[in-house]
Amino acid sequence: MAVLGGRAGRAARGALPLCAALLLAGCAAMPSNGEVRKVDEGPQPDGDSQVHVAGIAPHTGESPQQIVSGFLEATTSGESDFSTAKKYLTADLMKRWDPFARITVLSKGPYHPSEGTDAEATSTTVALSGSKEALVDAGHAYQPDQGPLDTDVHLVRQGGEWRIDRMGDGLILSASDFERIYHSVNMYYFADLGADERHSGARRETLIADPVYLPWQSPDGLLATVKALLKGPSKWLAPAVSSAAPAGVDLTGGAEAVTLDDSQRLKVRLKAKADQLRGEECVRLAAQIFTTVQGQASVKLDSVEVQRADGATACTLGNEQARQYGPANLVGASDDQYYIGSAQHNLLVIPPDGTTAQPVSGPFGAAKADLRSVAVRRDGQVAAGVKSDGRQLVVGALTDGDVLQTAPLTSAAQDPKNGLSAPSWDGFDDLWVADRNSAVSKLYVLRGGVGQPVPVTVPGLQGRVESLRVASDGVRIALVVSEAGAERLELGWIDRGGTAEQPQFSVEGLRDITPAGENVVSASWAGASRLVLVGSDPDGGGQQIRYVGTDGSPAPALATVGEPESVAASEDQSKPLLVLSGGNVYSLTDDSNGKKVSPKGDSPVYPG
C-alpha cells in the first residue's frame, strides 16, 4: 500500500514544496496553522505569503500509479483551468471532467495498492482509499463528511502511454492542501424574518453571513467573490434567507465587470437580465455586495455602484448607508462584559480595560440576587436570569429603582441541572430558553422576555438541549445537545411563522458541527460565521477552547488558562473571550495569557 504523491522519478523534475511533495500523505487536519480565516477577520494575505505549487506534466513511461499520483499533485497547483492536470486525461475525459463539481477533503490518504501492472495490459484500475473529513459542493459550501473514501480511477494505454479515461468529477485534496488553495469568504444575504420583519410600521432588515470557500490564487478575487454572491446562498441557509439579485443574473464578461478605484469606489456591472433592477431592490443588492466585499478589502470601501449592462448607473450605496443592514440595527448592540459573582450570586459588569467588576444597576446587581444563569439583552438595557433553583425565570431592567418581574415560565424540575437553561436574547427583543425537565427538552420563546411562552418545534432533534445561543441576526441558533452520554454542537435556522399577535417558531435544518471526537461543554457566537466552544480534547488532554465555522469547518485549539469550563464571546471579533476556569473569570485576547477578573464568579456572558 502506497501513499500517493511520492512516486519514483519525481526528484528528477526538481524539488517541490514540502506539502506538494508529500501531497496527501498524513497532512494535518485543516487548518494546519492558524484558525480558518473568515472574510470579516481581515484582508487576504499578500500573494507572496502564499505557497505556489507548480503543476508538472506527465513524463514518458510512467506507470498507472504514477499517472494517478501525478494527476492528484497537479490538481493542487492552484491553476484556475487545471490545464496541467488535464494532461493526465484522455482527450475524451478532458472534455467531460468537471473539476468544480465538488471537493473531497481528506484527513488521511489517499492510498493505493503498490503492486505493478502487467506490461501487456491495455487498461487497468487504480483503487484509492482514505479518510474523508469534509465535502465542498459545487456552490463552494463546506460541510463535514467523515467516513472512508473508496473510489476507482480507470486508465487506458494510448500511444504507449497511460492516461486516465474514467473517474468521478471534482477534486480530492488533503486537508492541508485544501487550506493552502482555498479560503473561507462570507457571502451576505437578507434574513427572512417572517412576522418580525415589520416593527412599528417600519421594515427591519439584516444581512446574514453564508461562508463559502474560494481559491486564494484566483486571477481576480473581487470578480470571483461577486460571482459567487450572485449565485445565491448555500443549500442549508437558502430557506432562511433571500437575495436581491434577480434569479440567474450574472456579471458582464471580462475583469472590467468588477472594478475598485483608488478612492475605494467599487463598480459592478451586471448583464441585461438585471436592467430592470432599480429602487429599493437595487440598493439591497448593493448592500449585499458592499458587505461581502468589505470583508476582504484591506481598506474601508467608500461606496458600491451597481451598473446596468450598458454601464449606466442603477444605484449607489455609500458606507454610511450600508451600516443600516447590520444586526445591531434590530434591537441595538452593547459589548459590555458580565458574569455572576460567587459571593452574592448577583450580576457584575467588567469595566472597559479593567479587571475589577462591579454590580450592575438595578435588581440584578442587588446582594443575594440568587442567580444561576443570566442573559443581557443586546442593547444592554434589560436582563433575564434563572434563579439558583433552576425553576424560576425573572426579567428586569439594569437601572436603579426597577424590580424583577417573574416570567410566566416555571420548570417543574427538582434538580437545577434539569431545570431551565441559561436564556438567550435574539435580535428582536425575544427571549429563548430550554426547559430540560425531560429526556427531550422543550424549547420556548417569550416575546419581550415576559410574554406567554411560545413552544418551539425542533424537527429531527435527538437528545436534550443543555444550552443555547441565538445569533444577533435572530435567524441562526446554536444548541448544545446531550444524548447517550455525549454532548454535541448543533446549528439550526429559525423559521418565524404565524402573525405578530400569534407567532409560531421552529428550528429547522439541524446540522452537527461538533469537531471530530469532541464533547462540547459550552458554545458562544464569536463572529458573523463562527462560534467558539469548550470541548474535551480527543487526545485525552482535558478541555480546550477552539473556534468552529457555522459550516462545520474546524480550527486548532487555542492557548487558554487552566482547565476551561465555559466561554463567552462577542460577535465583534476585536473583543476578548471570557473564560471560566477554576472559579475565576479570565479575559483572554489573542496576544495575552489571560487577565484574571475579580471577584470570583461564573457564567460569563456578553449581551445576547
Secondary structure letter of residue 419 according to DSSP = S
Tell me the sheet residues that pair with 269: 307
* Tens digits of residue pLDDT in 45-80: 433 445 667 789 999 999 999 999 999 999 999 888
Q: What is the DSSP string of 227-270?
A: HHHHT---TTTGGGEE-SSPTT--BPSSGGGEEE-TT-EEEEEB
Dist CA 492 CA 506 (whole Å): 9
pLDDT reported for residue 1: 55
In 3D space, the residue among 260, 259, 236, 232 whose CA is nearest the CA of residue 244 turns out to be: 232
Query: What nine digits make up the cell of 142?
Result: 463546506
Dist CA 512 CA 518 (whole Å): 12
Dist CA 485 CA 222 (whole Å): 46
Is the pLDDT at 523 greater than 80? The verdict is yes
What's CA 321's distance to the chain center, in Å?
26
Query: What nine digits make up the cell of 381?
Result: 438595557
pLDDT reported for residue 17: 31
| CB atoms near residue 168 (< 10 Å) | 14
Split at pLDDT 50, 70, 90, the class of 44 is: very low
Average pLDDT, stretch 325-334? 81
Task: Give the list of residues 6+ apart from residue 541 with CB closer than 8 angstroms, or none.
Answer: none
pLDDT reported for residue 11: 35
pLDDT reported for residue 328: 73
* Tens digits of residue pLDDT in 100-159: 999 999 999 888 877 778 888 999 999 999 999 999 999 999 999 999 999 999 999 999
b (16+ CB within 10 A) / e for 535-544:
bbeeeeeebb
Q: What is the CA radius of gyration of the chain?
A: 27
* Tens digits of residue pLDDT in 192-216: 988 777 654 457 789 999 999 999 8
* Tens digits of residue pLDDT in 376-424: 999 999 999 999 999 999 999 999 999 999 999 999 999 999 999 999 9
Is the pLDDT at 22 greater than 90? The verdict is no
pLDDT reported for residue 88: 99
422 neighbors 339 (Cβ within 8 angstroms): no
Split at pLDDT 50, 70, 90, the class of 455 is: very high
Split at pLDDT 50, 70, 90, the class of 353 is: confident
Burial of 438 from C-beta contacts in 10 A (0-12 / 13-18 / 19+): exposed
Task: Enumerate the H helices of 133-220 as residue ranges.
Answer: 175-181
Degrees, nearest 5: CA angle 300-306-311:
125
Residue-range domain boundaries for the chain: 2-183, 329-605
Quote the percentage of the chain above a pLDDT of 90.
Answer: 75
- Lowest-pLDDT range of 38-42, 290-294, 368-372, 514-518: 38-42
Task: Give the list of residues 6+ apart from residue 217 with CB closer than 8 angstroms, or none.
Answer: 47, 50, 52, 78, 80, 181
Dist CA 268 CA 256 (whole Å): 9
pLDDT reported for residue 571: 93
Is the pLDDT at 27 greater than 70? The verdict is no
The pairing of strands 584-588 and 566-568 is: unpaired
Is the pLDDT at 546 greater than 60? The verdict is yes
Split at pLDDT 50, 70, 90, the class of 4 is: low
pLDDT reported for residue 202: 56
74 neighbors 177 (Cβ within 8 angstroms): no
The pairing of strands 265-269 and 202-203 is: unpaired
* Tens digits of residue pLDDT in 585-594: 999 988 777 8
pTM of the predicted protein model: 0.89
Task: Give the list of residues 6+ apart from residue 6 with CB closer than 8 angstroms, or none.
Answer: 21, 22, 23, 25, 69
In 3D space, the residue among 43, 32, 45, 37 whose CA is nearest the CA of residue 547 turns out to be: 37
102 neighbors 135 (Cβ within 8 angstroms): yes
525 neighbors 547 (Cβ within 8 angstroms): no
- Lowest-pLDDT range of 35-39, 407-411, 556-560: 35-39
- Residue 350 one-letter amino acid: I
pLDDT reported for residue 377: 97
Query: What nine digits make up the cell of 50?
Result: 502564499
pLDDT reported for residue 78: 80
To 10 degrees, what angle do helices 221-230 and 279-294 make? 130
Task: Enumerate the H helices of 273-415 as residue ranges.
Answer: 279-294, 319-322, 328-331
- Residue 393 one-letter amino acid: L
What rounded mean pLDDT belongs to the chain? 89
In 3D space, the residue among 258, 78, 102, 81 whose CA is nearest the CA of residue 182 turns out to be: 78
Dist CA 511 CA 36 (whole Å): 19
Site of grid cell 506539502: 19
pLDDT reported for residue 199: 58
Cis status, amide bond into 31, omega within 30 of 0: yes
Dist CA 298 CA 457 (whole Å): 43
Average pLDDT, stretch 278-288? 95
Dist CA 602 CA 133 (whole Å): 35
pLDDT reported for residue 413: 95
In 3D space, the residue among 263, 275, 273 whose CA is nearest the CA of residue 314 turns out to be: 275
Judged by DSSP in three states, 585 sits in strand
Q: What is the DSSP string of 398-416?
A: SSTT---EEEEEE---SSG
Query: What nine digits make up the cell of 582?
Result: 477554576
pLDDT reported for residue 220: 83
* Tens digits of residue pLDDT in 223-258: 999 999 999 999 999 999 999 999 999 999 888 899
329-605: which CATH number, 3.20.20.70, 3.40.50.1370, 2.120.10.30, 2.30.130.30?
Answer: 2.120.10.30
Site of grid cell 486564494: 216
